[in-house]
Amino acid sequence: MATDMLKIGDRSLNSRFFIGTGLFPNPYVQREAIQASGAEVLTFAIRRINLEATEDDSILQHLQQDSYLYLPNTSGAKTAEEAIRIARLARASGLSDWIKVEISANERTLLPDPIETLKATEALVREGFTVLPYTSDDPVVCKRLEEAGAAAVMPGAAPIGTGLGLLNPYNLGLIVEEARVPIIVDAGLGSAGDVVQAMELGVSGVLMNTPVAKAKDPAGMALAMKLAIEAGRLSYLSGRIAKKRYATASSGLEQFKLT
């Protein structure tokens, strides 16, 4: 596990936990939870950042003394054109050339628009961004995003903020099986058990915000999620036993049968 690093684009990461910075009750709890998570990648909605003075922004200023990789997202965009414009503004402000493409046309479900997401991904890859698109758990769409040049693909487990857990593990398994880039589960997970289940399917990492920020003890939950990611990853690498229809004695009693 010491050498089991996650490589996305030209960056190698020790942590497979990507954490969002929103929804925390205050900056102190936010900072405590982020530290407990061990995350190296922080994501936030660009529309919440003062791009004219990022060094003084109320969200980022509490994190400046630490070394994090910023993954700004285009939350709030409803079209590819909006997402592209937001990404360009983020890069021009010096935030990052990594971008999480997030485009939703439905405010009630916040489900990603696959057509607009693909358009934005293609355009931003051509402009030299490291693109991580948030999308649905459709194996075909995920493959198309990979082929468009996405550095990693981020299918949702369930709608954003619902905490419903992994609604379609079969699809996620297919996505992982076909992928040649990292698969990061983004959105819908609610507990450490959900995280372990996703990691055991072979995903490369997990992005979450609400389950940590809205927990009774955000720092404690961040640590729980960190450990769940590590346990699920180690379980996946170690290889689980095959499922069987009938019991098999673990004590090897057949060798003691009387003749």
The CA radius of gyration of the chain, in Å to the nearest whole number, is 20
Question: Which of 78, 100, 119, 216 is flagged as catalytic?
Answer: 100
Which position has the token pair 């937001």? 86
- Whole-angstrom Cα distance, residue 106 to residue 48? 20
Q: How many CB atoms lie within 10 A of CB 176?
A: 20
Residues flagged as binding site for 1-deoxy-D-xylulose 5-phosphate: 161, 187-188, 209-210
Phi-psi region of 163 (alpha: psi -120 to 50; beta: other; left: phi over 0): left
| Token pair for 162 | 């619902």
Residues flagged as binding site: 161, 187-188, 209-210
100 included as an active-site residue: yes
- Whole-angstrom Cα distance, residue 251 to residue 186? 42
Residues identified as active-site: 100
